[in-house]
C-alpha cells in the first residue's frame, strides 16, 4: 500500500491548515465498516487484484452480535467462492424450520428442508467467527488492508466528488484517498450522516430485549418463536446457549425497567415454562441488550464517489433474520458492477446507479413483507393481547413453501460474476 503526502499538505504537521495528518494513503476502494457487507465486498474485490482498504471503528470483531443467521442464499455464494465447506467446519448449528408455539398448538411457518439447494437450512454461526473467516481469507491477498480502531470523521470532497475519508486512530488523523468510497457501516452509519442522505421510514418501530440463557442437552435444536397473549419471544440456538429476543411495544423498555427485572423474568417463564429452571441466570440488567427497531432506506444510495450498501443503505427489521443476507447480496452485486470500472481506474455515477437498480426492488419487497408481519402479526399480539392465528396460506399446499423460499433464497438469485 502506497503512503504519500499530497502537495497541499505541509511536511510540518504543526502548520497543516486542515488537521495534523499522520499519513495519507491511496487505494482503489475504501470500504468503511467491517461487517458482513464490507468484509464480503473487500474479499471479492481483493480477489480481482483491486487495491482495497477495509476500515473498522472497533479494535476487533469480538463483540456481542445478534445477527447470527446465514441463509441458503449466502451459503450458495460461499460455495461459488469455494469457501462453503471450510466455513461449515466452524462450530455451528442448523435450523431446518421456523416454528411458532402458541398456547394451543405448534405451527411451522417455514420448512427449509424441501428447498432445492445444497443448504436446506439456516446456518447459525456467530457473526464474529464469520467476519474473522472472511477477513482472514481476504488477508491472503497482498492488495487488501484491514485497519481496525479507525473512527471516520470526515469525507474528502473535491469539486462535488467524494475522494476519500479522514479518520482518527493509531495516534492521530489519517487520510485515505480512493477512487470509490463505500459506506457499509451499519444502521447507525457515519457515512450516511456525513453524506446527508435522506431516509424513508418503512415499518412501524418496536423494541427488542436480547439476552442469553443456558441451553440444556434435552432441549430441541433450531429456533422457536413463542407467542403468548401480549408477548412474543424468539429463541435462537447458539449451541450451548439460547439467544433470546423478547419483543415489546415501542417505548415499553422504560416501563419494564421500572417494574423490575423480576417482572421480566416472570413474563419470560409465562411464555416459555421450560426456562423456569434456568431463568435465575438472568440476574442483572447488564445482561440485557436493548435494541430499538426501526426500518428505513435511503432514497438514493450514492453520491459521486460514494456508495452505501447493507444497513447503511437500508435498515432492516429483524423479522425473518434477513439483514445479513441482503447486506451480503448487496456486496456481491456491488463487486460484480464495480470490478471492471475499478480495474480501469474510473467509476462513474451510472455504475453506482446500476447497483441501486439491481438491489432496490428486492429490498423494497422484503421490507414490505416485514412491515406486513409487524402490523398484522406482531402489533395485534403486543398491543391488543390477541392470540396468534396462523396465516391462511400455510394451509394451502401450493403456497406452503413460499415463506421458506422467500426467507431462505430472497427475491432474485444473486451470483458472483467475477
How far apart CA 37 and CA 135 sit, in angstroms, is 12
User: Is 16 a residue whose pLDDT tops 60?
Assistant: no
What angle do the packed helices 252-259 and 261-271 form, to 10 degrees? Answer: 110
Statement to judge: residues 380 and 303 lie in one domain: yes
**Domain-located, residue 299:** yes
The residue count of the chain comes to 418
Both 85 and 225 in a single domain?
no
**What is d(CA 361, CA 351) in angstroms, rounded to the nearest whole number?**
17
Domain boundary among the residues 293, 326, 359 is at 293
Nearest Cα to 332, choosing from 27, 28, 47, 33?
A: 47
411 by Cβ neighbours in 10 Å (0-12 / 13-18 / 19+) ranks as middle
Average pLDDT over residues 240-253: 85
**Per-residue confidence band for 150, with pLDDT thresholds at 50, 70 and 90:** very high
Model confidence band, residue 222 (pLDDT cutoffs 50, 70, 90): low
Domain boundary pick from 293, 317, 348: 293
In this prediction, residues 378-390 reach a mean pLDDT of 69
Task: Based on the fold, state whether residues 96 and 219 are members of the same structural domain.
Answer: no
Out of 233, 264, 293, pick the residue that ends a domain.
Answer: 293
The residue assigned the cell 457499509 is 184
Question: Model confidence at 8, in pLDDT bands (50, 70, 90)?
Answer: very low
Q: Which residue spans within 184-281 are E strands per DSSP?
A: 199-214, 223-227, 232-237, 241-248
Rounded percentage of the chain residues whose pLDDT exceeds 90:
53
30 is written with which cell numbers? Answer: 475504501
What's the confidence (pLDDT) of residue 184?
98
Number of CB atoms found within 10 A of residue 127's CB = 19
- Is a pLDDT exceeding 60 seen at residue 377? yes
Query: What mean pLDDT do residues 150-167 have?
Result: 96
* CA dist., res. 325 & res. 333, Å (int): 12
Nearest to 306 by CA among 192, 199, 198, 418: 192
Domain, as residue range, for 218: 205-293
Note whether residue 334 is domain-resident: yes
pLDDT for 12 equals 37
289 and 300 assigned to the same domain:
no
Residue 182 lies in a domain: yes
Q: Do the domain assignments include residue 414? A: no
In a domain? residue 186 = yes
- Least reliable range by pLDDT among 89-103, 146-160, 226-240, 241-255: 226-240
Q: Grid coordinates in use for 192?
A: 450516511
Clarify whether residues 340 and 262 are in a common domain.
Answer: no
Is 287 in the same domain as 344?
Answer: no
**Tens-digit pLDDT profile for residues 341-372:** 999 999 999 999 999 999 999 999 999 888 88
Predicted pLDDT of residue 384: 67
DSSP-derived letter for residue 63 is S
Domain match, 228 and 115 both = no
Highest averaged pLDDT of the listed ranges 13-22, 80-89, 286-295? 80-89
Q: From 99, 98, 103, 100, select the one nearest 386 (Cα to Cα).
A: 103
For residues 300-322, give the mean pLDDT.
93
Q: Of 134-148, 357-371, 373-387, 400-414, which has the strongest mean pLDDT?
A: 134-148
Whether 244 is in a domain gets the answer yes
Same domain, 30 and 149: yes
Residue 176, domain CATH: 3.50.50.60
Q: Are residues 357 and 288 in the same domain?
A: no
Burial grade of 148 (CB within 10 A; 0-12, 13-18, 19 or more) = middle
Q: What is the mean pLDDT of residues 61-69?
A: 74
Report the chain's mean pLDDT, rounded to a whole number.
87
Give the pTM: 0.89
Q: Do both 281 and 158 map to the same domain?
A: no
Residue 278 belongs to some domain of the structure: yes
* Domain-embedded: residue 416: no
Domain count, the chain: 2
Give yes or no: residues 258 and 333 share one domain. no
Say if residue 164 is in the same domain as residue 18. yes
Amino acid at each position: 500500500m502506497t503512503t504519500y503526502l499530497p502537495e497541499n499538505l505541509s511536511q510540518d504537521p504543526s502548520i497543516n491548515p486542515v488537521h495534523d495528518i499522520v499519513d495519507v494513503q491511496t487505494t482503489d476502494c475504501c470500504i468503511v465498516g467491517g461487517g458482513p457487507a464490507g468484509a464480503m465486498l473487500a474479499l471479492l474485490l481483493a480477489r480481482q487484484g483491486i487495491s482495497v482498504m477495509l476500515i473498522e471503528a472497533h479494535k476487533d470483531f469480538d463483540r456481542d452480535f445478534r445477527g447470527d443467521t446465514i441463509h441458503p442464499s449466502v451459503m450458495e455464494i460461499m460455495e461459488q467462492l469455494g469457501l462453503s465447506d471450510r466455513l461449515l467446519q466452524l462450530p455451528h448449528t442448523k435450523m431446518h424450520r421456523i416454528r411458532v408455539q402458541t398456547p394451543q398448538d405448534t405451527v411451522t411457518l417455514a420448512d427449509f428442508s424441501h428447498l432445492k439447494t445444497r443448504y436446506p437450512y439456516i446456518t447459525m454461526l456467530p457473526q464474529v467467527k464469520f467476519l474473522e473467516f472472511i477477513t482472514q481469507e481476504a488477508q491472503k491477498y497482498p492488495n487488501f488492508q484491514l485497519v481496525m480502531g479507525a473512527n471516520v470523521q470526515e469525507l474528502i470532497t473535491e469539486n462535488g466528488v467524494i475522494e476519500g475519508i479522514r479518520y482518527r486512530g493509531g495516534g492521530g488523523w489519517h487520510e485515505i484517498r480512493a477512487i470509490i468510497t463505500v459506506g457499509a457501516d451499519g444502521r447507525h452509519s457515519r457515512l450516511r450522516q456525513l453524506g446527508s442522505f435522506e431516509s424513508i421510514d418503512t415499518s412501524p418501530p418496536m423494541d427488542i430485549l436480547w439476552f442469553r440463557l443456558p441451553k440444556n442437552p434435552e432441549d430441541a435444536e433450531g429456533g422457536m418463536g413463542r407467542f403468548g397473549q401480549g408477548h412474543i419471544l424468539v429463541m435462537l440456538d447458539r449451541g450451548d446457549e439460547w439467544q433470546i429476543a423478547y419483543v415489546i411495544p415501542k417505548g415499553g423498555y422504560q416501563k419494564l425497567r421500572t417494574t423490575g427485572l423480576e417482572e421480566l423474568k416472570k413474563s419470560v417463564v409465562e411464555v416459555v415454562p421450560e426456562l423456569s429452571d434456568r431463568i435465575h441466570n438472568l440476574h442483572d440488567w447488564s445482561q440485557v441488550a436493548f435494541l430499538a427497531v426501526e426500518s428505513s432506506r435511503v432514497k438514493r444510495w450514492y453520491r459521486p464517489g460514494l456508495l452505501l450498501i447493507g444497513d447503511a443503505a437500508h435498515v432492516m427489521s429483524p423479522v425473518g433474520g434477513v439483514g445479513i443476507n441482503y447486506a451480503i447480496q448487496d456486496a456481491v452485486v456491488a463487486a460484480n458492477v464495480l470490478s471492471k470500472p475499478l480495474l480501469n481506474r474510473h467509476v462513474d455515477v451510472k455504475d453506482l446507479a446500476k447497483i441501486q437498480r439491481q438491489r432496490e426492488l428486492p429490498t423494497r419487497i422484503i421490507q414490505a413483507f416485514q412491515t406486513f408481519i409487524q402490523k398484522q402479526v406482531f402489533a395485534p399480539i403486543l398491543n391488543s393481547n390477541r392470540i396468534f392465528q396462523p396465516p391462511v396460506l400455510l394451509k394451502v399446499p401450493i403456497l406452503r413453501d413460499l415463506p421458506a423460499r422467500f426467507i431462505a433464497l430472497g427475491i432474485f438469485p444473486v451470483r458472483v460474476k467475477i
